[in-house]
Amino acid sequence: MRVHICAVGRLRASPEKTLIDDYLDRFGKAGRQHGLGPAKVIEVEDKKNAGMGAEAALLRKALPKGALICTLDERGKVISSPDFAQKIAGWRDAGRQDLALIIGGADGIDPALRADADFSISFGKMVWPHMMVRLMLAEQVYRAATILGGSPYHRV
């Protein structure tokens, strides 16, 4: 199952981008033997600042056809890393080819796109900068692959 982190905004060269790329590369290597990967980041940008609706339209255009949609949203479900790994494994085992993990813009994700999501997760009640959400998500995707592979990376 291919993983797509679909995000509003462009992340320029930075330490965060370097870490994101590293975690996604690690995911590709760790996940391959478990039917996971590769992972990539898809960025969209609302250059006209037309709001959430315009961002949602750009995101929908960028989504792989038939992708399972999982939003990152403060109203989403707070789950543990092992639970996230099991969610990914379940989607993979159900035959899903693509997983789109969606990170909205500064105002969040358009309600219509949120309503179309198959699942929604939250990194807690705090609000995080988008670049940090991308980084934390990339690490959690990698962690999920290591959990599924029985690696000692994740310790309880």
Kindly list the domain boundaries of the chain, sorted by start residue.
2-148
Asked whether 108 and 52 are in contact (CB, 8 A), the reply is yes
pLDDT value, residue 109: 96
CA distance 122 to 99: 17
Query: pLDDT tens, position by position, for the chain (156 residues)?
Result: 999 999 999 999 999 999 999 999 999 999 999 999 999 999 999 888 899 999 999 999 999 999 999 999 999 999 999 999 999 999 999 999 999 999 999 899 999 999 999 999 999 998 888 889 999 999 999 999 999 999 999 986
Question: In one letter, which amino acid is 104?
Answer: G
79 neighbors 112 (Cβ within 8 angstroms) = no
pTM as predicted: 0.95
In this structure, which CATH number among 3.40.50.720, 3.40.1280.10, 2.60.40.10, 3.40.630.10 belongs to the domain 2-148? 3.40.1280.10
